[in-house]
A and B are shown apart, each in its own frame.
Chain A
Amino acid sequence: MDTNTVENGLALARAHILAPAGLTESDLERVFSQLLAPGVDAADLYFQLTRHEGWVLEDGIVKEGSRSLDQGVGVRAISGEQTGFAYSDEIILPALLEASGAAKAIARSGQSRRVQAWCQGSGLQLYRPLNPLESLSDEDKIALLKRVDAEARRLDPRVEQVIVSLAAVHDVMVVANSDGRIAGDVRPLVRLNVSVIASANGRRENGSSGGGGRFGYEYFLEGDRWRTYAHEAVRQALLNLEAVEAPAGTMPVVLGPGWPGVLLHEAVGHGLEGDFNRKGTSAFTGRIGERVASPLCTIVDDGTLDRRRGSLNVDDEGTPTQCTVLIEKGVLKGYMQDTLNARLMGMAPTGNGRRESYAHLPMPRMTNTYMLAGPHDPQEIIRSVKRGLYAVNFGGGQVDITSGKFVFSASEAYLIEDGKVTRPVKGATLIGSGPEVLTRVSMVGNDLQLDAGVGTCGKDGQSVPVGVGQPTLKIDAMTVGGTQA
């Protein structure tokens, strides 16, 4: 198959969306000529067609399955710092013209302008433009769910409940803007998740695991990857049955590699998004060039990683994604930008303009955010701690951009006593200050890992898939929110 090129990605996207609606380039020109009223500086049309499916196995049977189809077009008009937005779930010319009329009402009087000649935007080739819903037969999807369930139940008699879910999204977009650029992308995304409850001696605990990315379902079959998810979920649940109360107070914290990188997403990631810095509401506002982390820390946001959950060939404004250095050897280097905030701040867009769907406005959002590997052996890092916490798995996190305070909640953690990992402790929330916490990073491991492909980030009510990663790292002092004072 020779579909793995972006031009074909764009061609495919146009064939999926614009062709069935009978929309031609001259129709788009007609929409833009209406949209570009006096005072409108820029405008874009975002066409999207999304197919989603989800399957759930529980009590050993496949209880639920669902499919959804959502399509529409979002119309945005920008006048200075002001944005007008309307959308339609009908991709037809009259609806487009009507939405344009509503969106352009934002502009006051000003210069009139015209759309430039169309040019096709170039993008990356990070994943194949396939439809993951069709990457396995429905029978094979059901068989996969059942194998995961059987494996989890086989592992230990204490496993009481197993829930397995499988989901895929086939997201096709075309974005055309008033600079005459037209870009498109076909974005597959799959996910498999296993959640188990184990019980013993009247105690009941859960564990969960999963993964995914921008490919077909066959990813889960390669090397029996599904089996490792089942093992991991069961291991966590059984471990939690043994967990003691978590400590409370400020202590050294060692974070494991991979998903604990949610630390970076919360502590610095959101605070470095362009919109908060343009508005001056971030604790990092105006701090480019300043030291905000220990010299061991180099942190990037990279939308160009092969088939990762947070990767995109082009962002939702048609800008190719890139690897943006946020913090280099501890010094703040840059922000993540969409086109609006980049223009208003006199900076270049970084391919971080993302939106949940055609019915939402784009904003600066993260893609895959991670810290580069450092010099230390992970075992040496643990040995360096007299008494502290070793946290290797996390639930979600949250940040207050303005004060910089952030939290993330450990779901698998251990005590470190005299340089050794000892007892598992119950989940606890860790809290810190974004501009401070990374200045306390004293050791960085040589074991960089990215997460398994399960992250979803929420901002202003919009959810987008993201990735995180980091090597093992040691924070000299962080507050651990357990119950044992």
Chain B
Amino acid sequence: MAQAHNGNERAGLPPQAELEALVALALEEAKRLGASSAEAGASVDVGLSVNVRKGEVDTLQHQRDRSLGVTVYFGQRKGSASSSDFRRESVLETVRAACSIARHTSEDPAQGLADAELMAKDVPDLDLFHPWALSAEEAIAIARECEAAALGADPRIVNSDGADVSTHIGLRVYGNSHGFLGGYRASRHSLSCMVVGRDGGEMQRDYWYTVGRAPELLESAASVGRKAAERTLRRLNPRRLSTRKVPVLYAPEVARGLLGHFIAAISGGALYRKASFLVDSLGQRIFPDFVHIEEQPHIKRGLGSAPFDGEGVATRPRTLVEDGVLQGYVLSSYSARKLGMQTTGNAGGVHNLIIRPGALDFAGLLKEMGTGLVVTELMGQGVNGVTGDYSRGASGFWVENGELAYPVQEITVASNLKQMFAGLRAVGSDVDERGNIRTGSLLLDGMTVAGE
């Protein structure tokens, strides 16, 4: 199976039973030291990545990471510790470190494991494990082919940051003193390419990538390279814009980030701290009524799929937004207790968030917008989660008469996320599935564009 995967002896994952034994050892030791409850997680990740630049190998890296994390509760006082050392004495030492921390933390009524009846009863096979029997030589060959397709696409492609191929497999096991003990293996493979173009003026770069649980789900090397080149070429000789207020179309690769801000704002940690612009918004209309957002944790081979969350709670499909109205928050057991609610199985985040695609594809959305800005890249962290104020650097394209007119850069887009969500005009059918958040392009009402 996985043992031979990188063509050398470093590549294998240990048997699941081995990590289960470590977790069980940690839990036993916690009990022995007087902890009233405890939880532990262990993981091993193994990978190979290569970067090829201008046809030559730049770096070849073998990864192998291990981690054991332990949390103990003495009543409602909590302590945590972690280590990369799996030897028995180190495991015991890690548990002792967690216990010593718990002597100093405070009683917190919301603290503790998730309720026992919420534990996953079984661990469904989500088809997440597809190791790639890829030797370093084969990885290099794929990266070369990818980069060559980009460099050969056009004489205006003048330089390269290279093509990367990476393949990773991992095993994680989680257990707690309710008796839950579960684990699963997963793989992740990717191919990316970034090239530099120039046509008289200054240089521009852009990239493309493909990622999947199974190697056969990846886009071909030549296609990734060609797209990287196309995306770079279309950015050459950009202009700036004067300051104005216009509709903005977020391409799928940046639209994902907008939904990420939405998830952050309805996450328990931000809500119980009142550090969100969507505090007390359950049952409120956040988006226009055509918007439907759901979480689908059990998609086979899904990049965000997981059979249970970070506390052993069974994940389940659910609707987050229906007819534009918020139906549920994103909670762990801790934040749920703080809010007087029940965990939604989201300790560690959401699992495959999907916004229902609309009828129009990217070209259709351009026509719908008529005149405005397409954003394909955002820069900086100018998002205030407490107020929703939003101001980020952007580049993309100016659109006239429903067509891309010319590339633009060195501008900002600004508004407030609450207004941006309420002002969503359309969701594209051009869904980008390369991540935990799946969305098409998002067309928004007027935002302030600042430029020259």
Contacts and interface: CB of A to CB of B under 8 A. Distances in A.
Decide whether A and B assemble into one complex: yes
Given A197-B386, A485-B243, A281 B161 contact: yes
Nearest to B242: A249
A106 to B, nearest CB: 5
B10 A65 contact: no
B126 interface: no
A141 to B, nearest CB: 8
B410 interface: yes
Contacts of A402: 196, 203-205
Interface in B413-452: 413-416, 448-452
B386 A86 contact: no
A481 B98 CA distance: 46
B105 A64 contact: yes
A85 interface: yes
Contacts of B64: 86-89
A66 B275 contact: no
Q: Which of B101, B103, B108 has the most CB of A within 10 A?
A: B101
A280 B159 contact: yes
A161 interface: yes
A246 B80 contact: no
A68 interface: yes
A400 interface: yes
B333 interface: no
B105 to A, nearest CB: 5
Interface stretch (B51-59, B349-357, B396-404): B51-59
Interface in B39-95: 53, 56-66, 78-85, 90, 93-94
A460 B66 CA distance: 21
A61 B110 CA distance: 12
A484 to B, nearest CB: 8
A216 interface: no
Contacts of B205: 281, 400-403
A407 B393 contact: yes
A313 to B, nearest CB: 25
B341 to A, nearest CB: 17
Contacts of B83: 68-70
Interface in A104-125: 105-106
B414 A248 contact: yes
B190 interface: no
A82 B382 CA distance: 37
B382 A61 contact: no
A32 B442 CA distance: 55
A151 interface: no
A83 interface: yes
A427 interface: yes
Which of B196, B391, B448 has the most CB atoms of chain A within a 10 A radius of its CB? B391
B409 interface: yes
A71 B93 CA distance: 14
A407 B80 contact: no
A63 to B, nearest CB: 5
Contacts, number: 257
A157 B205 CA distance: 50
Contacts of B56: 81-82
Contacts of B391: 246, 409, 427-429, 481-483
Contact of B409 (A88, A90, A102, A405): A405
A62 B106 contact: yes
Contacts of A106: 57, 60
A168 to B, nearest CB: 13
Contacts of B316: none
B415 A431 contact: no
B82 to A, nearest CB: 4
Given A72-B84, A106-B60, A404-B202, A479 B78 contact: no
Interface string A141-160: 11000000000000000001
Given A89-B64, A197-B273, A485-B243, A479 B85 contact: no
Nearest to B392: A429
Contacts of A101: 8
A139 B104 contact: yes
B257 to A, nearest CB: 13
Contact of A67 (B97, B275, B414): B97
Contacts of A426: 384, 387, 389
A116 to B, nearest CB: 25
Interface stretch (A304-312, A391-399, A438-446): A391-399
Contact of A82 (B57, B161, B274, B412): B57
Contacts of A142: 104
Interface in A273-325: 279-281, 283
Given A106-B60, A402-B196, A429-B380, A161 B274 contact: yes
A138 interface: yes
A165 B101 CA distance: 15
B59 to A, nearest CB: 5
Contacts of A390: none
B129 to A, nearest CB: 23
Contacts of B409: 403, 405
A249 B63 contact: no
Contacts of B102: 65
Given A82-B59, A361-B61, A429-B412, A403 B202 contact: yes
B202 A86 contact: no
Contacts of A431: 379, 393, 410-412, 450
Interface string A43-87: 000000000000000110111111111111000000001111111
A426 B196 CA distance: 36
Interface string A228-257: 000000000000000000101110000000
B136 interface: yes
Contacts of B58: 81-83
A103 B412 CA distance: 44
Nearest to B51: A83
A58 B60 CA distance: 44
Interface in A426-485: 426-429, 431-433, 479-485
Interface stretch (A180-188, A198-206, A346-354, A415-423): A198-206
B451 A61 contact: no
A248 B379 contact: no
A159 to B, nearest CB: 12
Interface string A204-233: 111000000000000000000000000000
A203 B388 CA distance: 12
A84 B60 contact: yes
B237 to A, nearest CB: 11
A176 interface: no
B267 interface: no
Contacts of B415: 483
Contact of B78 (A63, A248, A361): A63
B344 interface: no
7 contacts: A63-B78, A68-B82, A69-B94, A81-B56, A102-B10, A481-B414, A483-B416
Given A138-B100, A204-B274, A483-B415, 17 more contacts: A65-B78, A65-B79, A69-B85, A70-B84, A81-B56, A82-B59, A83-B60, A84-B61, A204-B279, A206-B384, A206-B386, A359-B63, A359-B65, A361-B61, A409-B391, A427-B384, A481-B392
Interface of B: 8-10, 53, 56-66, 78-85, 90, 93-94, 97-98, 100-108, 111, 136, 159, 161, 196, 202-205, 243-245, 273-275, 279, 379-382, 384, 386-387, 389, 391-393, 395, 409-416, 448-452
- The 9 closest A-B CB pairs, nearest first, are A481-B412, A407-B393, A61-B106, A407-B380, A429-B382, A248-B450, A65-B101, A409-B382, A66-B80
Interface of A: 58-59, 61-72, 81-90, 98-99, 101-103, 105-106, 138-139, 141-142, 160-161, 163, 197, 199, 203-206, 246, 248-250, 279-281, 283, 359, 361, 395-409, 426-429, 431-433, 479-485
